[in-house]
Structure 1
Amino acid sequence: MSEPTFAHDDQLPRVPLPTLEDSCTRFLHWCAPLLTSDDYAATAAAVELMLRPDSPARTLHADLQRFDSEPDVDSWLDEFWPSRYLGRRDRIALNANFFFLFRDDTVLAESTAADQADRAAALVTAAVNYKLLLDAEEIPAVTSRGQRLNMAQNKFLFSETRIPGDPQDSVRVPYSADWPGPSRARHIVVCYRGNMFRMDVIGPAGTPYTPGDIADGLRAIKKAGARRVPVNASAGHLTTMARADWAAIRTTLRAAPVNATALDTIETALFFICLEDFAPRDALHACDQLLHGDSGNRWFDKAVSFIVFADGQAGINVEHCGLDGTTILSFVDALLENPVGDHASRSGAQPQGMPGIEPVVFALDTDHKREVATAAASFAQYAADTATATVSFDTFGTTRAKQLGISPDAFAQLSYQLAHQRSKGMIGATYESIATRHFRNGRTEAMRVVTPEILDFIAAMEDPAVDADGRRQALRAAADAHVARAKECQRGEAPEQHLWELQLIQRRRGEQLGATEPMPFYDSPGWRISRDDYLSTSSAPSVNIRYFGFGSTSPKCIGIAYVMLPDRWNLYLATPKSVAAQMHTFADNLQAAVDELAELLASRA
């Protein structure tokens, strides 16, 4: 028998807390390629002020050291993550939630008929099995390159719901002081045509329902919810609002007992199943629907929502505050890589007849209906103002990259930079998410991709006077620099989150610490320019995933979510519609850049 799921979490190494000098020095080095000489000088002067012995930054860093040494603190980032995710005030739908589109030929899918109810029932059965195994701590700890990874995020998979608040959101979740231990909920919430239904998936005695029973329940829900709910009566639209606005409405909603009951049912549900009444036109349409879809048929505050289309295609939408992509990938892989019968057998599912089903009912007054309708219209326009595209390489993947003697991730990032230069005529700030779950409470690190070597590489590729050998040499040097920087991030040596947390500490308790003096560094060109993303990138390597995606992060940013596997490479791009033409030009240039760089490497491989 494997060791308990969470047995080694408190034995993992701690995230190292850099010194203020190290972070400032590294930050200057990282931002330099994006700055003019005047901007660099201004940033360097601001850094000097940060490093003064009497600087507020010294007091704030000392407080961070104090926090890191507290006995019940696992990481100096333990306050940072709630501030970063729960502190955002704009809408999370499309802006923060992310999705995966599953392959149609996974073991789980092929063990069922290509029927919506059967496919959805298989997902429910697999997820319930995973939940019961997790409760018993029988999910094996994930490892990467021989290192155990932190499993704490798995506690946020079931019955976790983000609660809107002002000035910051909160989370309703098991394994907390308010809700000790695993979730005791036995139900999920199913959405269909804007209707919401509570459905039991675990019987009164703790025995899961069989896939057949669950499928029968889902068919009954589709029949009961055949009439689409009017737009102004679908409360799910409210979860697309800016957080403080949604928080105020939620407070008024809960004043009515029927609404308090509905919210409790939603917030304690193990997860959501969103059934759609159409089949996607193509992969792009499926991805877009997973990212935003009909917001009346969603509850974007829920940690996990499975979306199943009329033809049985399926995917997942994830609320990001407690869950990162790597956790969801291992969860999804565990679900999709086994037949539904195996999941049912292992969970001890028994025939019990059709599960208990009841509508989730809200009593909305005239003001609430107006707010729901306004939220729906606003989000529909926001989604319409987002341009998306898919890009696929059927003959290039990690195998080909390794044959060419280059890191697959480095190859991808250099391709993005070359395509961006050719589509927009410039190099811009680029973010890449680097997983750090090998640390206690580790999540991700913010890697800034643009290095001096990347500038040299772009210059060589765009200079007709540079021959193939010169371009290849610049390409190799840039790839090596990229790998070296990724390793810095993996070691917990990146500067941005450390410096950002000092800024957040000043906001939280600067007055208490006597550290209220403004710090010019946070208005410096380096801080502003290096974090103003033109490209925001993240990868999700799983053979069970077709596409991964998220929204753009700024008015000019292209979000790039990519799945690179041995034999293929799929990307989902998102950007504001106002710059859609640039995104499509980028996609065209990316196709050409990949071919060009592969050919360049192959000629001397």
Structure 2
Amino acid sequence: MVPRLLLRAWPRGPAAGLGVACRPLSAGPGPGPYLQRSIVPTMHYQDSLPRLPIPKLEDTMKRYLSAQKPLLDDSHFRKTEQFCKSFENGIGKELHKQLVAKDKQNKHTSYISGPWFDMYLTARDPIVLNYNPFIVFHPDPKSEYNDQLTRATNMTVSALRFLKTLRAGLLEPEVFHLNPAKSDTDTFKRLIRFVPSSLSWYGAYLVNAYPLDMSQYFRLFNSTRLPKPRRDELFTDEQARHLLVLRKGNLYVFDVLDQEGNIVSPSEIQARLQSILSDHSPVPEFPLAYLTSENRDVWAQLRQELVAGDNEELLRKVDSAVFCLCLDDFPIQDLVHLSHTMLHGDGTNRWFDKSFNLIVAKDGTAAVNFEHAWGDGVAVLRFFNEVFKDSTQTPAIPPQSRPSQTPAVQKLHFRLSDAVKAGIASAKEKFEATVNTLTVDCMQFHRGGKDFLKKQKLSPDAVAQLAFQMAFLRQYGQTVATYESCSTAAFKHGRTETVRPASIFTKRCSEAFVREPSRHSAGELQHMMAECSKYHNQLTKEAAMGQGFDRHLFALRHIAAAQGMVLPELYLDPAYGQINHNILSTSTLSSPAVNLGGFAPVVSDGFGVGYAVHDNWIGCNVSSYPSRNAREFLQCVEKALEDMFDALEGKSIKT
């Protein structure tokens, strides 16, 4: 019943993703503390959302084999085929039956939600580079508003207005409109609000509107991932009223909501931020924030040591803060510096465990870096869009505003034992060693974008993905496991599904362009591109409908592991390991508020590819570790795009 939803995502982790629904920035602000006053309650559709379907086992096996085909030679493929057959007819059938039975008993959620939280929270790798992505805001269109203090104040107030609007149930529900002229109207909203929540989704469906899951939104604020031995915990305290601010590795807190829960005056927030910016304290000898970049078990042990050292109340202030605002003391030099700053910084000035860090550089450049365990990007991008719109269109303070008084700000002073100091020194060493191996580079292709490709009846996303396949083939001579994440937020507690862009069609097309372009006419190359586009659209549609294979196989494996069962042969097949070793981890999102985004590779010999196909150009932001060359890869992407545009214009391909 759910239509094709192109809900793209930022992928993170071994098989995770930041599913983002691209929606227009919402209607204008409401008066007072609210961004808007939706007449339809925020969570009106939540109870009646359809449930995430479990694919048929035979469909999952077919899709899995189709994705393996371009990655394996004939003899390996035949072995994998045998593993699939015996799995489908044997233990897989039993595991699938158990999964379906368990799903029927848990109608309040989705079959993937529990295992997915487990996957994130049991991961012991540092969350920096391995999980946390970043998204950069465009500058404020009015240049004088990009002053650091002005922008930090306005964005903080807009973030608090979002919080107030969300908690009051006045935030517009997140809805994917296929026919906005019919469904995104006051008339429809006035009608649908009277339909009971248990039926409201069906009312929206009748006018081709598809509400999205909003169950993750409450974790945006007052939330932190707490390090614990073996499995972390998500902590939320909605009663807390203070903001956490980091500057030069020092931690400060002050109340941004009063005792009645009202936002304190913008001039008071500005005055407190001004006092923090005026504090001449140096970077501490042992900046505590480094610990949030550690291995999770190491951090969990050091946190216990901190608690034992009479720091529990201070840690509670960090964990329960509304969010973390990071004020950096330097301007941004260029796009590469921007990516490094917002992805990891120097380790002293981020609390990576917070649900998100709002970062504002010296020149007013702003971004969000967020922790991934609590949810995917639907909530983050919605927050991001609303904060950009509100802070630029209805700013709380003008640049000429001068704070009159300096109310008290509490600086947090932790008591650090020798063990904690040694732990911080070790974390710093590891952090610096790791980030120094990361390369980030970017390119912009200005020959055309979405407009031109749609006229050619091609999916812009399929063309971008095809360019990555061609580029890797040109650079390394092979086709490898590729990941593109897709949101399943059209379903209750949906998370993400994987689109597998490497296919027999992209392999054939890439080989034609890279290895033998002169043997094919422009018409033949165009035909191959059209085949790739058609198949990519099918894969994307299936993924958005919960009909991929990755999450199903993941859930079946989770059931087997939970029972202490010997893993079925299918999962021990090297081909299964290889397809989940995602050398090309790719993600796209577009929004009027987004300037740039990115993430680190998910494997040491991979690329992290953030990209966007705009109306008239294509942008790409790529990260790599030393075993891969990001600059060269981008040159190959550019060559691939040039070749495809030549073919589409009927020109011959230059070798």
Alpha-carbon separation, structure 2, partners of 1:8 and 1:113 = 38
Contact 2:109/2:493 (<8 A) preserved: yes
Task: Spell out, residue by residue over 1:196-233, the C-alpha distance to the aligned partner (whole angstroms, 9 max, x if none).
Answer: 00121112332212332212111101223532212xx2
Cα separation, partners in 2 of 1:208 and 1:24, compared to 1, 3 Å: same
**1:163 aligned partner:** 226
Choose 449-458 or 392-401, whichever is displaced more. 392-401
Alpha-carbon separation, structure 1, partners of 2:566 and 2:391 = 60
**1:28 aligned partner:** 65
Alpha-carbon separation, structure 1, partners of 2:451 and 2:618 = 11
Q: Does 1:473 align with 2:508?
A: no
Alpha-carbon separation, structure 1, partners of 2:523 and 2:407 = 67
**1:177 aligned partner:** none
Q: Secondary structure at the residue paired with 2:145?
A: coil
Alpha-carbon separation, structure 2, partners of 1:105 and 1:569 = 22
Alpha-carbon separation, structure 1, partners of 2:356 and 2:436 = 24
Choose 221-230 or 3-12, whichever is displaced more. 221-230
Amino acid at match of 2:82: A
Q: Does 1:102 align with 2:165?
A: no
Contact 2:607/2:628 (<8 A) preserved: no
2:93 pairs, out of 55, 58, 61, with 58
**2:577 aligned partner:** 528
Amino acid at match of 1:32: K
The Cα shift of 1:326 comes to: 3.1
**2:300 aligned partner:** 247
**1:357 aligned partner:** 409
Task: Spell out, residue by residue over 1:539-573, the C-alpha distance to the aligned partner (whole angstroms, 9 max, x if none).
Answer: 11112111110111112111101233324432211
Contact 1:548/1:571 (<8 A) preserved: no
Contact 1:271/1:305 (<8 A) preserved: yes
Amino acid at match of 2:649: A
Cα separation, partners in 2 of 1:354 and 1:134, compared to 1, 3 Å: farther
Cα separation, partners in 2 of 1:339 and 1:300, compared to 1, 3 Å: closer
1:82 pairs, out of 101, 108, 117, with 117
**1:388 aligned partner:** 440
1:288 pairs, out of 340, 350, 366, with 340
Amino acid at match of 2:159: A
**1:238 aligned partner:** 291
Amino acid at match of 1:523: L
1:437-448 equivalences in 2 (<5 Å): 437-448=489-500
Amino acid at match of 1:526: A
Q: Does 1:493 align with 2:547?
A: yes
The Cα shift of 1:81 comes to: 1.4
Alpha-carbon separation, structure 2, partners of 1:391 and 1:411 = 16
**2:201 aligned partner:** none
Contact 1:112/1:119 (<8 A) preserved: no
Alpha-carbon separation, structure 2, partners of 1:471 and 1:550 = 33
Amino acid at match of 2:170: E
The Cα shift of 1:72 comes to: 5.4
Q: Does 1:138 align with 2:170?
A: yes
**2:48 aligned partner:** 11
Alpha-carbon separation, structure 2, partners of 1:341 and 1:567 = 26
TM-score (norm: length of structure 2): 0.85
Q: Does 1:561 align with 2:647?
A: no
Alpha-carbon separation, structure 2, partners of 1:333 and 1:527 = 38
Alpha-carbon separation, structure 2, partners of 1:602 and 1:337 = 39
Alpha-carbon separation, structure 2, partners of 1:204 and 1:380 = 42
Alpha-carbon separation, structure 2, partners of 1:153 and 1:576 = 32
Alpha-carbon separation, structure 1, partners of 2:511 and 2:143 = 52
**2:646 aligned partner:** 599
**1:572 aligned partner:** 621
The Cα shift of 1:339 comes to: 4.2
1:297 pairs, out of 349, 369, 372, with 349
Q: Secondary structure at the residue paired with 2:113?
A: coil
The Cα shift of 1:389 comes to: 0.6
**1:152 aligned partner:** 215
**1:216 aligned partner:** 271
Alpha-carbon separation, structure 2, partners of 1:242 and 1:213 = 38
TM-score (norm: length of structure 1): 0.91
Alpha-carbon separation, structure 2, partners of 1:564 and 1:520 = 40
Contact 2:470/2:511 (<8 A) preserved: no
Contact 1:209/1:355 (<8 A) preserved: no
Q: Secondary structure at the residue paired with 1:166?
A: coil
Contact 1:262/1:362 (<8 A) preserved: yes
Contact 1:214/1:354 (<8 A) preserved: no
Contact 2:561/2:567 (<8 A) preserved: no
The Cα shift of 1:62 comes to: 2.6
Q: Secondary structure at the residue paired with 1:573?
A: strand
1:589 pairs, out of 619, 636, 640, with 636
2:148 pairs, out of 116, 120, 132, with 116
Cα separation, partners in 2 of 1:339 and 1:414, compared to 1, 3 Å: same
Amino acid at match of 2:251: M
**2:128 aligned partner:** 93
Q: Secondary structure at the residue paired with 1:3?
A: coil
Alpha-carbon separation, structure 2, partners of 1:59 and 1:7 = 38
Task: Spell out, residue by residue over 1:434-482, the C-alpha distance to the aligned partner (whole angstroms, 9 max, x if none).
Answer: 1111111112111111111112211221312112111111111111111
1:494-509 equivalences in 2 (<5 Å): 494-508=548-562
The Cα shift of 1:503 comes to: 1.3
The Cα shift of 1:343 comes to: 6.3
Contact 1:547/1:571 (<8 A) preserved: no
Alpha-carbon separation, structure 2, partners of 1:330 and 1:536 = 23
The Cα shift of 1:331 comes to: 1.1
Amino acid at match of 1:114: N
Alpha-carbon separation, structure 2, partners of 1:173 and 1:396 = 45
Alpha-carbon separation, structure 1, partners of 2:624 and 2:641 = 21
Q: Secondary structure at the residue paired with 1:197?
A: strand
Amino acid at match of 2:147: D
Task: Spell out, residue by residue over 1:119-168, the C-alpha distance to the aligned partner (whole angstroms, 9 max, x if none).
Answer: 11111000000000000011111222332111112111101111112221
Task: Spell out, residue by residue over 1:357-409, the C-alpha distance to the aligned partner (whole angstroms, 9 max, x if none).
Answer: 10122111111101101101111110001111111234533223223321111
Q: Does 1:190 align with 2:279?
A: no
Cα separation, partners in 2 of 1:355 and 1:373, compared to 1, 3 Å: same
**2:79 aligned partner:** 42
> When the two structures are aligned, how many residues end up with a matched partner?
576
Alpha-carbon separation, structure 1, partners of 2:541 and 2:584 = 20
Contact 1:267/1:302 (<8 A) preserved: yes
Alpha-carbon separation, structure 1, partners of 2:93 and 2:405 = 65
Q: Secondary structure at the residue paired with 1:217?
A: helix
Alpha-carbon separation, structure 1, partners of 2:619 and 2:648 = 21
Contact 2:111/2:555 (<8 A) preserved: no
Which sections of structure 1, spanning at least 5 residues, go unmatched?
175-182, 346-350
**1:178 aligned partner:** none
Contact 1:551/1:575 (<8 A) preserved: yes
Amino acid at match of 1:558: F
Percent identity, aligned pairs only, is 28
The Cα shift of 1:344 comes to: 4.7
Alpha-carbon separation, structure 2, partners of 1:239 and 1:171 = 14
Contact 1:542/1:565 (<8 A) preserved: no
